[in-house]
Structure 1
Amino acid sequence: MTNLKYYETMAQYNQWMNQKLYQICADIPDSKRKENLGAFFKSIHGTLNHLLYGDLAWMGRFLGKPFTITKTSEELYSDFEQLRQKREETDLQIIEWSKNLQPQWLEQPFKYTSNVDHQTRILPTWLLVTHMFNHQTHHRGQLTTLLSQFGYNPGITDLPWLPNNYF
């Protein structure tokens, strides 16, 4: 898959959605954000942490700067504002990175070791980059469910509603 605009669009979608969701989450008391709701990463805060973890892990691999935390459920930041700041920085990094992707790199095999099962795999780079964006969407879906259960409406989250100022 060498449609480079796809990756730029997904990076922008990632930032847009994260901004929307963090804005909602900022209004939720910390104790409620951290309440164990039985979700895969327990809480809203846990899910936000995991989303950041996934992006840091994949970007570390892609940039050749391994992310040293290997436990997928480890809390990166207990403080919401620190988590939010790192999220914003990471989103900007992903956008800039996506603008510089090259078809030759995307078509190459990519070797990595999973933090989940510790198995080493070699897969097409384009597939793993696509996975990073799919992973974001998957867990943001879990997050919007948790927010909805608390009565917060995240609004429309579909890609075609990405604001025009992103294009």
Structure 2
Amino acid sequence: MSTGGLCLQARYNQWMDERLYAVTASLPEAVRRRDLGAFFKPLHGTFNHILLADRLWIGRMTDHPCHFDSLDQELYRDFEQLRTQQRETDADLLHRVRALTAHDSLPASDYISLMTGQLKSLQLGTLLTHVFHHQTHYRGQITTLLSQLGADFGETGLIWMADVN
């Protein structure tokens, strides 16, 4: 993956997170916290998991690993604090990706899988691509839940992002 492609994914990630947090913030807290049947149960839990995974991968990428007890460990109970932390993490990811050169995409990051406990290794470009695909996967669950709740989140396609070029 080119660094330009990674920048596009980072910008799209930031754009979609802003939009989905805005729509979700308009819902009552009880709705955001209700078990809606997603993998991480409520909307809040799904947003929390995205942030937790982002931080986990950034830590691995920078050789400053984060420790979490589980993939559903609650980071922030307050939704606005969760939103603020995701906004800061998205900006950090975009900054890191913009700072990459083609050469930077080659080194590997070694880490211990939280799920299996096994040592793994990924090239930086592959690691970042995984991060963005992971976010897209869980935002897909969020959009499904929002749809079921009757919330309008608009278009989600990359081509609808204003500054796609």
| Structure-1 separation of matches of 2:126 and 2:153 | 29
Give the match's secondary structure for 1:111. strand
Query: 1:30, CA displacement in angstroms?
Result: 0.6
Aligned to 2:138: 139
Q: Does 1:81 align with 2:77?
A: no
RMSD, aligned α-carbons: 1.2
Task: Say which SS state the counterpart of residue 15 (structure 1) adopts.
Answer: helix
Q: SS in structure 2 opposite 1:72?
A: coil
Structure 2 length normalisation: TM-score? 0.95
Aligned equivalent of 1:13:
12
TM-score by length of 1: 0.94
CA distance in 2 between partners of 1:74 and 1:156 (Å): 30
Q: Distance in 2 between matches of 1:123 and 1:34?
A: 34
Distance in 1 (alpha carbons) for counterparts of 2:130 and 2:43: 22
- Identity rate, percent: 41
Q: Which amino acid aligns with 2:56?
A: A
How far apart, CA to CA, are the structure 1 residues paired with 2:162 and 2:73?
33
Q: Greater shift after overlay, 144-153 or 109-118? A: 109-118
| 1:115 counterpart SS class | coil
Change (3 A) 1:128 1:70: farther
Render the CA deviation track for 1:105-142: whole Å, top value 9, x for unaligned: 31123211111111111232221111001001010000
1:66-107: per-residue Cα shift (whole Å, max 9, x none)? 112241111111100110110111111111111011222311
Q: Which moves more between the two structures, 70-79 or 44-53?
A: 70-79
The Cα of 1:8 is off from its aligned counterpart by 0.8
Superposition pairs for residues 51-62 of structure 1, below 5 Å? Answer: 51-62=50-61
- Structure 1 stretch 96-105 or stretch 83-92: which is displaced more? 96-105
Cα distance in 2 between the residues matched to 1:90 and 1:110: 19
Partner secondary structure for residue 120 of structure 2: strand
Tell me how far apart the structure 1 counterparts of residues 131 and 122 of structure 2 sit (CA, whole Å): 13
Q: Name the stretch that deviates more: 13-22 or 70-79.
A: 70-79
Asked whether the 8 Å contact 2:60–2:110 carries over to 1, the reply is: no
Structure 1: give runs of 5+ residues left out of the alignment: none
Gapped runs of 5+ residues in structure 2?
none
Q: Could you tell me how far apart the structure 2 residues matched to 1:117 and 1:142 are?
A: 24
Find the counterpart in structure 2 of residue 100 from structure 1. 99
Query: 8 Å contact 2:60–2:109 — kept in the other structure?
Result: no
Q: What is the alpha-carbon distance in structure 2 between the residues aligned to residue 51 and residue 37 of structure 1?
A: 17
What amino acid is the match of 1:38? G
Please report how far the alpha carbon of residue 55 of structure 1 lies from its aligned counterpart in structure 2 after TM superposition.
Answer: 0.6
Q: Report the 3-state secondary structure (helix = DSSP H, G, I; strand = E; otherwise coil) of the residue aligned with 2:38.
A: coil
Structure 1, 68-77 or 18-27: larger mean CA deviation? 68-77
Count residues with an aligned counterpart. 165
